Amino acid sequence: MTEHPLFQLTLARMREFYREPEAIFWVFGFPIVLAFALGLAFRNAGPGELKVGVAAGSGDSALAATLDASPRLGAVVLDSAAARLRLRTGRIALLVVPGDPVVYRYDSTRTESRLARLEVDDALQRASGRPDVVSVRDERVAAPGSRYIDFLIPGLLGMNLLGSGIWGVGFSVVQARQKKLLKRFMATPMRRSHYLLGFILSRLVFLFLEVVALVGFGRVMFGVGVRGSMLTLAGIAILGALSFAGLGLLVASRARTIEGVSGLMNLVMLPMWILSGTFFSYARFPDAMIPFVKALPLTALNDALRAVMIDGTALTGLGAPLAIVTAWGVVSFAVALKIFRWR
């Protein structure tokens, strides 16, 4: 068994990978650093105290005191130059200019500013005696599953599968071509399919470590759980890794130089990082774009991963996205095999 060419090719691929410290960082370290940084930046402490400014003028300090009394606002009195600067740089969300009427100066496209507008208005109107007409009660939800980090971890997992599939396969294929190692292999009785399958099999081994590292990190650090079955998650990850390894082979099928293939890789990966709902929901894109975005393999994979991790969907409920992922993999592999430059 250990003398089988497929085994030896897979082993050689794995050795070349784990002896490359940079590759280890980009595959295992980078997604974890990213998850950690974004997890901290968007932790569920809420927006906290909103900073607002009060323009210097008659009654400014009384106004600032009124606003400061609200637990959700922090107000400072500023002269007009300082106020303009702070407003522009986002250090205050809104500027209140005392007078009659009171003027709210803010950028209505900023979520934070609009929130500040509501809070400031609420505090001012209440302080001036406005009664609450309808009685209400707050119920706060902070259950795991609805936080940003719960959204982020499956996205990072998908992005990581894409990245390691394309980088892991693409660079080593082109390097072997550039060093004429491919040509040398072609002078042996090695089967071409064994060579390509070796890449895909070695990906599966590392895939396991990648998934454990990222999901484990999310669990320990942020309590991100997997609501669905672990087996389903593993199955989706395997399918994704195979599909992206096929895509990696396609990207690397013709390129003769590392520079050439790097450009192609970025061309393939960058749009998907942005469009496929890795860091934010793709629902934010215009409706006309959504069908196109949904047809991308990373979008489909992210959707499937989120469905399992967040909603606990069973495998049977994931037919559509998994079919898209599979189709990309099969077509890429078939085309790659057809157009592959073997020397």
Give the footprint of another protein on this chain (CB under 8 A). Answer: 3-5, 7-9, 11-12, 15-16, 19-20, 176, 179-181, 183-185, 187-192
Query: Tokens 């959204």 correspond to what residue?
Result: 151
- Name which of 20 and 121 has its Cβ closer to another protein: 20
- Name which of 151 and 340 has its Cβ closer to another protein: 340
- Name which of 191 and 256 has its Cβ closer to another protein: 191
Spatial distance between the Cα atoms of 304 and 97, rounded to a whole number of angstroms: 50
Q: How far is the CB of 256 from another protein (least distance, A)?
A: 13
- Name which of 91 and 179 has its Cβ closer to another protein: 179
Q: How far is the CB of 23 from another protein (least distance, A)?
A: 10
Helical axes 5-18 vs 148-178, angle rounded to 10°: 110
Q: How far is the CB of 9 from another protein (least distance, A)?
A: 7
Beta bridge partner(s), residue 75: 52
- Name which of 9 and 32 has its Cβ closer to another protein: 9
Residue 279 to residues 56, 149, 155, Cα–Cα distance (Å): 40, 10, 7
Give every CB contact of residue 5 below 8 A, 6+ residues apart in sequence. Answer: 190, 191, 194
Spatial distance between the Cα atoms of 316 and 245, rounded to a whole number of angstroms: 24
- Name which of 175 and 229 has its Cβ closer to another protein: 175
- Name which of 148 and 185 has its Cβ closer to another protein: 185
Q: How far is the CB of 155 from another protein (least distance, A)?
A: 32
Spatial distance between the Cα atoms of 321 and 298, rounded to a whole number of angstroms: 10
123 phi, psi to nearest 5 deg:
-65, -40
Q: How far is the CB of 178 from another protein (least distance, A)?
A: 9
Neighbours of 38 (CB within 10 A): 17
Q: Where are the alpha helices (DSSP H) in the chain?
A: 5-18, 21-24, 30-41, 60-69, 80-89, 111-127, 148-178, 181-186, 192-222, 230-251, 258-275, 290-294, 297-306, 319-339
Q: How far is the CB of 188 from another protein (least distance, A)?
A: 4
Q: How far is the CB of 76 from another protein (least distance, A)?
A: 59
- Name which of 27 and 304 has its Cβ closer to another protein: 27
Q: How far is the CB of 186 from another protein (least distance, A)?
A: 8
Beta bridge partner(s), residue 78: 55
Spatial distance between the Cα atoms of 162 and 175, rounded to a whole number of angstroms: 20
Closest CA to 237 of 193, 206, 280: 206
